[in-house]
Amino acid sequence: MNIILLSGGSGKRLWPLSNDIRSKQFIKIFKNSNGEYESMLQRMYRNIKQINKDSVVTVATSKSQVSTINNQIGEEVGISIEPCRRDTFPAIVLATAYLHDVMKISSEEAVVVCPVDPYVEKEYFLALEELYNLAKSSDANLSLMGINPTYPSEKYGYIIPESKEKISKVQMFKEKPTVDVAKKYIEQGAIWNGGIFAYKIKYVLDIAHKLIEFDDYYDLYNKYETLPKISFDYAVVEKESNIQVMRFNGEWKDLGTWNTLTEAMDENVFGKGILNDKCENTHVINELNVPVLCMGLKDTIIAASSEGILVTDKEQSSYIKPYVEKITGQVMFAEKSWGSYKVIDIQEESLTVLVTLKPGHRMHYHSHDYRDEVWTVVSGKGKTIVDGMEQIVKPGDVITLEAGCRHTIIAETELKVVEVQLGKEISVNDKHKFTLEE
């Protein structure tokens, strides 16, 4: 089974846990069967592989998310990197070309495309496999999976099938309606459009070649920033007459706001938090190493991270985005392919970061033009390489790095280092990467 997972956006509705690097699909607040916390991405990937271990999974995403994806689900997953944001049609075409030209998958093969971040159970993944097989064997050019509505929602578009059978031809699509109009759609047998569809690779590539002049994936990638911004629904779905939909009756939740996210949480408190017995329908999501005490709160969410603190009524949490867009500043936490970093202090001419490296991983061998650094090892074992010179490091060791020197650190066990950056021009762009042989 070939699956493209669409992973985009900054997830500003889930501030302060989400930012431009860590979108909502990367936040680890769901417990798996082992009692460990995992993200939406990890949950989605794990379930796909459990249903079909040979599935070819490709994540369509921006460059800024690649390290986090590798950190959470490893480096075996395929990644189609969008050089810039150009809406869902260019993103899906690029990922489809990636499957064909990079992964060498036949144009006659089918592929399922779906968002990376719905909250779903096992029956959803079985339905994805059913949709894949339907697209592979059917004469229809496009096969959709529609969600059986549980209430008349204003948040979703609607698919109106020709019949109420499990698989039906599509009669028409309707945009997001009012509640009263949504009720009428549902009475007609309408289903939610969850953005889940399947097709043969050749189908989308043929459409793309009619609309875009390109040779292959590599040529398309180089031209990507010149492509018009257009959704897949508008460019393909709404123009296709030979289209069918498969009903899905299982659990499906779009966790786009704090209110809907907390509905899917297994417990009311994540991290250090205390609710007294007068609290009702209150959730605490706390990534800080300090306790949060709640007294007599009702229908409330408290979310705390190094990015900030949110205290909100659950209903009002849906309207957070315009306020968060006014908040600017340093990204305080990010996961990388080698581990993670957390900013713990900011001064006018210094930045202090706690770096955690996973066992067997290392930073890029790199240098800086405008800043010195001081590393203090606080736990774990590893070694540093500074201008080609190797040194074993252990807790308590201090390494001083002047601007211009080439350096990296390699973890033997999990390694925690406090990194103090010193200079008048501290910037993430002040970095030159090298190979260790240089």
Average pLDDT for residues 182-194, to the nearest whole number? Answer: 90
323, 295 Cβ separation under 8 angstroms = no
Ramachandran region, residue 380 (left: φ > 0; alpha: ψ -120 to 50; beta: rest): left
pLDDT in tens, 97-112: 999 999 999 999 999 9
* pLDDT-derived band at 59, boundaries 50, 70, 90: very high
Q: What is the mean pLDDT of the chain?
A: 92
Residues 394, 95: Cα–Cα separation, whole Å: 44
Q: What are phi and psi of 276, to 5 degrees?
A: -80, 175
pLDDT in tens, 140-155: 999 999 999 988 888 8
CATH of 2-254, one of 3.40.50.620, 1.10.486.10, 3.30.9.10, 3.90.550.10: 3.90.550.10
* pLDDT-derived band at 64, boundaries 50, 70, 90: confident
Residue 56 has pLDDT above 90, yes or no: yes
pLDDT of residue 9: 67
Residue 438 has pLDDT above 70, yes or no: no
DSSP secondary structure letters along 152-208: --SSS-EEEESSSSSEEEEEEEE-S--HHHHHHHHHTT-EEEEEEEEEEHHHHHHHH
3-state helix, strand, coil in the chain (%, to 5): 25, 35, 40
Give me the CATH topology for the region 338-434: Jelly Rolls (2.60.120)
Q: What percent of the chain has pLDDT over 90?
A: 71
Domain ranges of the chain: 2-254, 258-319, 338-434
* pLDDT-derived band at 436, boundaries 50, 70, 90: confident
* pLDDT-derived band at 270, boundaries 50, 70, 90: very high
Q: 48-78: buried (b, 16+ CB within 10 Å) or exposed (e) per residue?
A: beebbeebbbbbbbbeebbbbbbbbbeeebb
pLDDT in tens, 23-42: 888 988 888 888 889 999 99
pTM confidence score: 0.84
* pLDDT-derived band at 11, boundaries 50, 70, 90: low
Residue 168 has pLDDT above 90, yes or no: yes
Q: What are phi and psi of 347, to 5 degrees?
A: -125, 175
